[in-house]
Amino acid sequence: MRFIERLRLTDFRNYTAQDLEFTGRPVVFFGANGAGKTNILEAISFLSPGRGIRRAKVEDLARRANGQVAPAWGVTAKLNIDAEETQLAIGQVPERPRRRIVRIDGRNATGGELARLINMMWLTPAQDRLFTGPASDRRKFLDRLTLSHAPDHGSAVVRYEKSRSERGRLLTDGISDAAWYDAIERDMAETGAQIALNRCQTLERLTEEIAARPAGEFPKAQIALEGEIEAYCGDDRDPNEVVDFVAGMLRENRDQDQRAGRTLRGVHKSDLVVHHCDKSMPAADCSTGEQKALLIGLVLAQARAQAAHAPYLLLDEVAAHLDINRRAALIEELIDLGTQVFLTGTDRSLFDAFEGRAEMFEVSAGRAEIV
């Protein structure tokens, strides 16, 4: 079993110093709005690659009080991985406040190493608008899921966006030298192909898990990728062919991209398309409750697809808009997953269906106490 055994927050958000211990069972943080429940989940989310559940800047996370800002913040954790101990430390560098440092067992580590060690997913109230919001939100959601299957996916996305930005500068500056474009586009092609192939593999695994899951309180979703590169990846396409396809597409589109001043085609334009299976209806047209249930169903499917890697789940205010039957069904599914889950809610009664099978913490004014 894999679980976070100890967690310490130092000068993080509204916490001066908070120590928490867990046993591996589901964990519930309950308390009034603004008490600091989501801040704890955000701290946990920084134990995985990326910018956390709020996508906050490193320099915005240090505790603020009485007009003063703490010099640096830190989050440390002790992981219990099959009875073996691993220490994680994530924090701000005081002399370089915009930089975050990651240490695994005392040594500096990369985001890829962190992704191979920690498999984490989350749902937040901001994601309730996932199906009706911009495609970029759905891409980020899918890429987060993909990171569980392909730990180097995040670094590929960062490289692709950096190359796309460099190509964008050439386009807006009116540069026509083919050699400059060839070099940048080759890197975009390699990373873009990797991104597309990773996304397709994730979608395939999710689709298989959704199909295998019996009907229940959370409706099944039909999912697809809308993107020309992902479409080209079908039929077990050789990765080198995909690279050549992307490179050719970028080369052929240079004139049009120069007129637009930006790259018009690529994996940065793809979209995750979701339909409610039983209703044969786009998710965006479903009711708010149905959209929430579809989203939870997708995350549960992803968790089951990754069961062998014991994913950590962070569910912020997930029970608030569920009726009593769906809340009970969700809790039973979380128990059945056998993985460590962290949930928040304003009222302890929202989690009555755990019936003593979860660790309960009451959060008040930047302090969390087990009850």
pLDDT for res 121? 93
pLDDT for res 329? 94
The phi and psi torsions of 312 (rounded to 5 degrees) equal -90, 135
| Distance, C-alpha 354 to centroid of its chain | 25
Rounded distance between C-alpha atoms, residue 250 and residue 244, angstroms: 10
pLDDT for res 309? 80
- Give the model confidence (pLDDT) of 100-129 as tens digits: 999 999 999 998 899 889 989 999 999 999
Residue 369 token pair: 């106490």
pLDDT for res 144? 92
Does the model's pTM come out above 0.85? yes
Rounded distance between C-alpha atoms, residue 306 and residue 39, angstroms: 26
pLDDT for res 316? 97
> What domains can be seen in the chain, in order of their start residue?
1-119+310-371 (3.40.50.300), 130-287 (1.20.1050.90)
Alpha helices, H only, 85-214 = 111-117, 135-149, 153-172, 178-212
**Coil vs helix vs strand at 287:** coil
- Give the model confidence (pLDDT) of 45-82 as tens digits: 999 998 999 999 999 999 999 899 999 999 999 999 98
| Ranges in the chain, pLDDT < 70 | none
Rounded distance between C-alpha atoms, residue 164 and residue 157, angstroms: 10
The phi and psi torsions of 181 (rounded to 5 degrees) equal -65, -40
Rounded distance between C-alpha atoms, residue 78 and residue 65, angstroms: 28
